[in-house]
Amino acid sequence: MENYKLVSQAKVGKEYAIQRLSDNAFIPFDPANTDYANFKREIEAETAEVQNADGQPMSTTDAKVYVAALP
């Protein structure tokens, strides 16, 4: 199971990317990015977990709702 963490800007407090924890890759919120598309698919299929920007695990339901609201 892949693990991800949301990354936010400290001054703005808004998420702008996802960090894939297995290789520390930063994935932008860009629908044309294949890693981003895979992240969204994995969350929807419940084959990945995501942490909020503070490092706290999101529930499956919360993660799905969050991802559904992304571009």
- What is the chain's pLDDT, residue by residue, as a tens digit (71 residues)? 899 999 987 655 677 899 999 999 999 999 999 999 999 999 999 999 999 989 999 999 999 999 999 98
Please provide the size of the chain in residues. Answer: 71
- Domain of residue 13: give its range: 2-68
Per-residue pLDDT at 14: 75
Beta bridge partners of 57: 51
How many domains is the chain built from? 1
pTM of the model: 0.88
15-20 sheet: strands from edge to edge: 25-28, 15-20, 2-8, 48-51
Per-residue pLDDT at 10: 63
